[in-house]
Structure 1
Amino acid sequence: MVQSAVRILVTGAAGQIGYALVPMIAKGAMLGPDQPVILHMLDIKPAAEALKGVKMELIDAAFPLLKGMPLNLQDCLTMGRFLTSYGCIIAGVVATTDVAEACKDVNIAVMVGGFPRTEGMERKDVMSKNVSIYKAQASALEQHAAPNCKVLVVANPANSNALILKEFAPSIPEKNITCLTRLDHNRALGQISERLNVHVGDVKNVIIWGNHSSTQYPDVNHATVMTSAGEKPVSELVHDDQWQLHLLNSEFVATVQQRGAAIIKARKLSSALSAASSACDHIRDWVLGTPQGSWVSMGVYSDGSYGIQPGIIYSFPVTCQKGEWSIVQGLKIDEFSREKMDATAKELIEEKSLAYSCLKG
């Protein structure tokens, strides 16, 4: 049985992350190898030519999952398309600088576009720029997206951008608006895999708490590794005295927190490939479900779990089933973790206040 195509919006599609992300989606990395997709790509007018080039490459790559859209005779004549005896077929790609056109009927929105912080900019300046962008895009999603559209915010400050989007797209359920901390989650898995010399697929249940910023708390207290002797806590497998639990709570945390900066220093550009891959991971697990006994990290609207103030977008451990996420409950939180979790929550509360002051300004 042929599945209906899913419409996926990628904003900032001509940028670094967008350029890495759209072919991954088209190859099935996000929704699986059998799910047809129609890509909606949005970018700003100065990037229109670059966006056109991305569309040309998607067509040239001949991705089978990019489902063409049959049009009727009048549509073909209006668009000036070449007609065959079979009618008019256009590629399964919409490339536009018009936000309303980009948001039309989309089922999933991956918000990559945003205003980056540049040298000399104050925190309030970059927040003000992004508040304006996300207010406009939220309004377009509110008016034009498909019912029950799922939204993932990637652009920084991701948690606060997601909160602004929630405010201006009130018909989108709050559980459908999330932000990306899966990149940090994957970085933590990778660090453990390298240090213990185990396959990354055998490591699970790290947690990223809080903000996608340098205050985030990568928590390994509940992480495990599958070994030949069964599942073992990460702390039991660390035999190097220089990397015992107290160092996991300092050097490991700092490494994950600063990984993005380290990549920029190394390649002189931000981490586009890993960000794009983790965005696919986030949506795939959200839509298709997490493996039994495993959880992932997602920035979601706080309901007060673990003493985190409601009303902010905060990263929690979640499991997903049938397109819905649920916060993992009942995990033991030690004193060190509590301090770190509260510190990143405090930053998010301050960011929320700053974002709202930008709205009024």
Structure 2
Amino acid sequence: MAVAELTGTPSLYTTRTTHHRYQYYSSQLSYVSTRLSNYRRISLRPHYPRTNQNARTRCSVKEAEAPVALQTEDPKKKPECYGVFCLTYDLKAEDEIKSWKKLVNVAVSGAAGMISNHLLFKLASGEVFGPDQPIALKLLGSERSLQALEGVAMELEDSLYPLLREVSIGIDPYEVFQDAEWALLIGAKPRGPGMERADLLDINGQIFAEQGKALNAVASRNVKVVVVGNPCNTNALICMKNAPDIPAKNFHALTRLDENRAKCQLALKAGVFYDKVSNVTIWGNHSTTQVPDFLNARINGLPVKEVIKDIKWLEQEFTEKVQKRGGVLIQKWGRSSAASTAVSIVDAIKSLITPTPEGDWFSSGVYTNGNPYGVAENIVFSMPCRSNGDGDYELVKDVNFDDFLHSRIKKSEAEVLAEKRCVAHLTGEGIAVCDLPEDTMLPGEM
């Protein structure tokens, strides 16, 4: 149990836990602790003073009032505002109710990392869910990253996003995931020097098993889960198996960055802008066995093979460029592709909440049960999907296969099945047996 000590100096308070001692200084932008042990909440709700219908809404700060006796709070009443959010907006409360949607709760793990550093501000700005969608961000970190999480929350405060109504930070997924409607699971341990892939599967698998249990216990029953931490296909399977009360269709492994890279390479080769490229699928695992599908892809509405006649380039150089793009970027820049990964997460979410353009589709690592392609069931595998914009999806049925595409898909399928056997102890399927065929980790995972 945490104990809060107030010192003789009003501006200083200390939170003591059984393991750590954190010190914070209060200010007009102070954090309000709901659970002092490891969970802090910032309320970012603008204050709307009561006015008559004809009064002008002004942007001003409330003047200090004389102390009054404490009263029991109405649980339905909005919490008090803090810091700069005590300024009124030019939007009346009744107008907000009419024009804005219901608050959406978005949980993000690895929230102090580089990918999140790009992603969170896109979420808060309205770029992802729309200009009329208020959002609450629930940020999950670790004991080591707690101070950095506070810095992230401070930056979000200072950005003054009107749609960002709440930010909460913590290290306990059972608290942070409470009522989450979207869970973006980015945090994962990177592969260190000398670490075998089987070791990484086990270490990260335990993280996602625990997060799956937490989602199952406290998240919305229809929470949409996007797994980014690698190996993302198998981590998504582990998370899903540990959340049996959440529909399996709600779990996604991120392969959208691979799709975006494939579109870029096809556009460059054809000499067109990327928006002319459609129907691109990434099949399989998020590894070097992934299969960028040029057979079904189109450029200006025409099959790729009618526009790009160089079949050798398509079968060899194109596939290799997509698979190794992250490694080349690291060599050039000295860091992984955090910004483009954040963009691809935004694209993945938008593909689920926006109707798919007629005749097109997008790639996502999803549960294979009932798939029409003959891919082994009970794994998470990237396949072509369509959505009507309600957060759900359906698998595309009208796709073509040739021997080249089929053989590549089967190779990636074998790898995903091997990974699944390696984490059987985390999915409730018995004793783990690791027989991974080769090391196919993407460079950015190391």
TM-score above 0.5, yes or no: yes
Partner of 2:302 in structure 1? Answer: 232
What SS is found at the alignment partner of 2:145?
Answer: helix
1:248 aligns with 2:314: yes
Partner of 1:24 in structure 2? Answer: 122
What SS is found at the alignment partner of 1:38?
Answer: strand
Partner of 1:77 in structure 2? Answer: none
Q: Is the 8 A contact 1:127 1:358 kept in 2?
A: no
Decide which of 44, 49, 53 is 2:151's aligned counterpart. 53
Q: Is the 8 A contact 2:107 2:182 kept in 1?
A: yes
Partner of 1:88 in structure 2? Answer: none
- CA 1:358/1:172 → structure 2, altered by over 3 Å: closer, same or farther? closer
Decide which of 221, 231, 236 is 1:162's aligned counterpart. 236
Cα deviation digits, residues 148-207 of structure 1 (max 9, x gap): 000000000000000000111000100001110011001101111222221211211111
Cα deviation digits, residues 12-51 of structure 1 (max 9, x gap): 0101111111111112232122211111111111011111
Q: Is the 8 A contact 1:211 1:314 kept in 2?
A: yes
Distance (whole Å) between structure 2 residues aligned to residue 276 and residue 26 of structure 1 = 13
Letter in 1 for 2:134: P
Cα deviation digits, residues 104-135 of structure 1 (max 9, x gap): 11100000011111110011111111111011
1:297 aligns with 2:371: no
Partner of 2:338 in structure 1? Answer: 272
Decide which of 326, 345, 350 is 1:260's aligned counterpart. 326
Distance (whole Å) between structure 2 residues aligned to residue 159 and residue 2 of structure 1 = 35
Decide which of 291, 314, 319 is 2:386's aligned counterpart. 319
Letter in 2 for 1:235: K
**Structure (1 or 2) with the greater helix fraction:** 1
Decide which of 335, 340, 344 is 2:403's aligned counterpart. 335
Letter in 2 for 1:5: L
Q: Is the 8 A contact 1:319 1:325 kept in 2?
A: yes
Distance (whole Å) between structure 2 residues aligned to residue 114 and residue 127 of structure 1 = 10
Question: Cα offset for 1:262?
Answer: 1.2
1:9 aligns with 2:114: no
Decide which of 217, 220, 224 is 2:294's aligned counterpart. 220
Letter in 2 for 1:223: A
Distance (whole Å) between structure 2 residues aligned to residue 357 and residue 111 of structure 1 = 21
Q: Is the 8 A contact 1:289 1:323 kept in 2?
A: no
- CA 1:219/1:117 → structure 2, altered by over 3 Å: closer, same or farther? same
Aligned residue pairs, count: 329
Distance (whole Å) between structure 1 residues aligned to residue 147 and residue 268 of structure 2 = 41
Distance (whole Å) between structure 2 residues aligned to residue 310 and residue 65 of structure 1 = 41
TM-score normalised over the length of structure 2: 0.72
What SS is found at the alignment partner of 1:115?
Answer: coil
1:149 aligns with 2:223: yes
**Larger Rg computed on CA atoms:** 2
1:178 aligns with 2:277: no
Cα deviation digits, residues 297-345 of structure 1 (max 9, x gap): 0000002421100000000011011221111113120000000000000
Distance (whole Å) between structure 2 residues aligned to residue 232 and residue 217 of structure 1 = 20
- Structure 2: gaps spanning 5 or more residues: 1-98, 433-446
Question: Cα offset for 1:357?
Answer: 4.5
What SS is found at the alignment partner of 1:221?
Answer: coil
Question: Cα offset for 1:358?
Answer: 6.1
Percent identity of paired positions between Structure 1 and Structure 2 = 39
